[in-house]
Structure formats: C-alpha cells, structure tokens
Amino acid sequence: MEKMIKKRIDQVKEKGHQRLTVLLIPHGFDKSFHFQISIFTIFFLVGLLFAIVGIAVLGIVRYNNTRIQINALASVYGKYFDEYIEYSEKLGDIRDDFASLNENLQEVHSLIDGESDELLKLPDESDSEDLAATELKVEEAVDKDLMLGRSYLSEIYGYRAVRVSMEKNKALVDSVFNFLDSRYGIMNSLPFGEPLLSYNLTSYYGMRRSPTFGYMEFHDGVDLANVPGTDITATGDGRVYRAIYSNRGYGNHIVIAHANGYYSLYGHCTSLKVREGEYVHKGQRIATVGATGNVTGPHLHYEVWIGESNRTDPMDYMKVGFGQY
C-alpha cells in the first residue's frame, strides 16, 4: 500500500516538474519569443491570482458593509451623531469631576455625622463598568441597532459606567440632602429674618419713654415704621395662633406659633390677610402696615417670644442672615 502511495506521489511530482514551452510571436516582428514554465509554477501563479482577486473582492464587500453600518448608525443617532463623538472626548474630564464630587460628598457626609458608614463604601470603577456592560447587553438584545453604536462609538458607553456609579452613590447624595433639608426646614420654622423689606427702626427693645404717655416703660419689641399698606411677611413657617382685630393695645395683630415653642407677633396692622389656625410659610404676606391700637403713627410693632410669656429682643433674630424671599 505504501509503495502504491509513494508511486502516485512520484508520478505527480514528475508531472508537476514537466515543463511547457510558451511561444510568443509579436505581430509585425520576424522574431519570436519562447520560455519554459513548469506545471507547478502555473498552478502557483493561478492560485496567487485567485487569492489576490478574492482579497480584493472581500475588501470591497467589507468596505460596503462598513459604509452601510455607518449610515445605519448615523440614522440611529440622527443629527446628534457628531455631538456624541465630541462628548465622548470629554468623558475623562467627566470621570475626574465625578470622582472629585464623590470625595466632597463623603467629606460632607462625615461632617454631618451620616447615618450609615455603608454609604461611604463607593463601588469600584471596574464594578460600575461590569454593571454597565450587563445593562447594555440586555438593551442590545431588545434593540439590535445598539450593536452598531457599540462597534463604532465604544467610548460613549463609558458614560454608562459613570451613570451607574452615580446611581450607586444616590444613597449618599440622598443622605446629605435629607440632612440639609431637615436642617433647612428647622431654620425656616424659626422666626429668623425681617418682617418688612424696608423700614425705619423707630424704637428698640427694652426700657424707653412711652411716646403716648411720657413715662418710662419696658418695650417688648421693636417698632418698624413704613407707609400704611406696606406688606408684612411671616418671618418663619408656623400656624396662626391669633388673628385679632382691636382698637386698643396691639390693635389689629397676628401671633404665629413656630416650632420649638417660638412665637412672633405683628401689631398695629391695617388689614390681616390670614385667619386663626391657618398654616403660613416664611416670606408669606400675612398683613399690611397700619396705625391701629395704641400708636402715634403708622408702623409695625414686632415681637419674638420663647413660650407665651418670655419676650426676647427681636433684633437677635432679625439679623441672623435669613432675610426676605
């Protein structure tokens, strides 16, 4: 058997090494040209020619497919295609900014005695990229066009990893926000700020000579003069404790009950814009300046109480940096 196979191989080699003579006779010339070439060489050259033609055809086909995919991609992304390319170049800066933001949030969280140390355990970048890749695979299974975008705009998908990191850190952001929001609510519920946008301070808190009777008396608040009809606003969130129309004493006046036992009083008003039991917000219009009750001219008599009996100096609360809205 081996001898037969060897004999066949020898026969093929013998035929392959046989030479053929190629005769070329140019038109109009007396001389002719000829050369010899083996059968193996002819097969090699023919095979090489087919290979070159095949590679060329494959290149043309792949080029056309690429153009088709690019056109399809442009159709998917529409007029924003160029913008996506531009924004992808900024991905590195966005990652740096987000890392800096995370550091600041962690510092704030630690300063405010955050509720849980677990919130400070931020996901690694690799974890975020893995989660983003998983999400994209799910989306690609639904929308095959996304595969085109991933083939040519892979850097854009880095934004997904950043978004995943943001979502994972949402608990940290919420913790900081809830703390600040609760503190903001507390500050809003206290009578901090001024009840008039502008005024002339005509009488301070403390001992003074009575402008109507002439004797010394203790003045429980401050007098803020302005023209009748000027808007008076609540200095803090609270519920209207009193809304009284009177021709004596404070005249037409309002008392608002705030959080933590604080009260604020607005006296000598022309008209009252709220009713007893109504909840009002800081900066809300509640009355207008007038000259009702025991007065010598139009002004707002303003007081701040801690409890219903302990009057305090309103200026301590008016000048704490929480002005009108």
pLDDT at 6: 65
Say if pTM beats, i.e. exceeds, 0.75: no
First to last CA, the chain: 106
Highest mean pLDDT among 5-9, 90-94, 199-203: 199-203
Residue whose structure tokens are 């109009």: 28
> What pLDDT is recorded for position 53?
84
pLDDT band for position 126 (cuts 50, 70, 90): low
- Residue that wins the pLDDT comparison between 135 and 259: 259
Q: Is 285 in a helix, a strand, or coil?
A: strand
Percent of the chain with pLDDT over 70: 54
> What average pLDDT does the segment 255-266 reach?
95
Domain boundaries, the chain: 1-111+145-156, 200-319
Beta carbons of 289 and 232 less than 8 angstroms apart: yes
Of 3-17, 171-185, 220-234, the range with the highest mean pLDDT is 220-234
Q: Is the predicted pLDDT of residue 117 greater than 90, yes or no?
A: no
3-class SS of residue 20: strand
Task: Tell me the CATH number for domain 200-319.
Answer: 2.70.70.10
pLDDT at 216: 80
Task: Give me the residue label for tokens 């008076």.
Answer: 232
Residue 124 or residue 167, greater confidence: 167
Map residue 82 onto helix, strand or coil: helix
Characterize 301-310 residue by residue with b for buried, 16 or more Cβ atoms within 10 angstroms of its Cβ, and e for exposed.
bbbbbeeeee
> Quick one: pLDDT at residue 185?
76
